[in-house]
Amino acid sequence: MPVKIDIEHLGTLKKNRDRDEGGGDLYFSLFDYIRQTASPGNSLKEAIGADFISTRRNLVTLSASAFPGKPFQIRALRKDGVIFICDRSSEQETINNYAGGYKFEQYMTLNENGHPHDDDEPVSNAECVKSVLRTTFESGGKEMKVFYAAELDAVDREENLVEFKSTNLGHQNWLERLSRNHYLQSYFGNVSYIIKGSTTREKIVFQLDKILVDEIPKMEVNWDPETCFVKLFEILEEVKTRLENDDEAVIIRSDGVNIYYEEEDANNCNFVDPEFLRNFY
């Protein structure tokens, strides 16, 4: 069955350096946003209006699993009627040492004062702005809503969201190896277009291309978005079916081809702050 998708932009949050250091896919800043925007007396599910709390990265990973790729392990935990999804790398991640992509973003954007960044200015994703999104997936008369945040690379003069990507792959290799994940990341971030910087092996940018996100599936790619969205819906539906009660957990595991589900001890899932849950009845 085809999947109908509706992406709703709810607001923005600033990721805090002292809360989300590293990969930036932990939930601390998102929890702060929910606390600040929730109406008094609401349940958590009422506060977010969704069945799941996730990261954009998880949505990309699960969608992309419709086609052969890298193995992964993602855990899902139900608390207060909401299912939290977190991948193992986010739980363990403390430092992000790769700065190449952030340097490209820095060169392509202006600072807070509207001026170009200095060449020797250090790069970091420790502080950034994220969109807060709620996406509804509907198929076969069933509906699931996911609440998540997506880092903003830039906003252009027409208020379009922009994603920056740099690669030393030629265009055809980019289509074969990276286009699927770049498309899914941009799609779930409600991004209009990608600025792709082609680089030498020495990370020198020699060409810029503007790629409309909606046009990527029409190119010579070896995947299609509908297959990805159907796979994501199937996984979310299976997880929701398995986690009927609070304090139940499951591991979603892929060997690179097939998806497996394994029971998990909820006590092993430490990615939901108990202090956050105490804000809701």
pLDDT digits (tens, 9 = 90+) for 245-254: 999 999 999 9
Mean pLDDT taken over the chain: 89
pLDDT digits (tens, 9 = 90+) for 19-60: 544 344 568 889 999 999 999 889 999 999 999 999 999 999
pLDDT digits (tens, 9 = 90+) for 124-164: 655 678 999 999 999 999 999 999 999 988 999 999 999 99
Question: What pLDDT does residue 16 have?
Answer: 62
- The total number of residues written for the chain in this structure: 281
SS (HEC) of the chain: CCCEEEEEEEEEEEECCCCCCCCCCCCHHHHHHHHHHCCCCCCHHHHHCCCEECCHHHHHHHHHCCCCCCCEEEEEEEECCEEEEEEHHHHHCCCCCCCHHHHHHHHHCECCCCCECCCCCCCCCCCEEEEEEEEEEEECCEEEEEEEEEECCEECCCCCEEEEEEECCCHHHHHHHCHHHHHHHHHHCCCCEEEEEEECCCCCEEEEEEEEHHHHHHCCCCCCHHHHHHHHHHHHHHHHHHCCCCCCEEEEEECCCCEEEEEECHHHCCCCCHHHHCCCC
Q: Tally the domains of the chain.
A: 1
Q: How confident is the model at residue 100 (pLDDT cuts 50, 70, 90)?
A: low
**Degrees to nearest 5, angle at CA 272 with 77 and 229:** 50
What's the CA dihedral at 19, 21, 24, 28 to 10 degrees?
Answer: -10
Across 72-76, 89-93, 118-122, 202-206, which has the greatest mean pLDDT?
72-76
pLDDT digits (tens, 9 = 90+) for 171-191: 999 999 999 999 999 999 999
For residue 218, count other CB atoms closer than 10 A to its CB: 8
Tokens at residue 114, please?
A: 């509207």
Q: What is the residue range of 266's domain?
A: 4-277
183: nearest Cα among 191, 28, 55, 134: 191
Strand order through the sheet with 161-167: 154-155, 161-167, 193-199, 205-212
Burial of 134 (0-12, 13-18, 19+ CB in 10 A): middle
For residue 183, count other CB atoms closer than 10 A to its CB: 27
Cα 84 to Cα 55, 64, 76, 217: the distances in Å are 9, 19, 5, 30
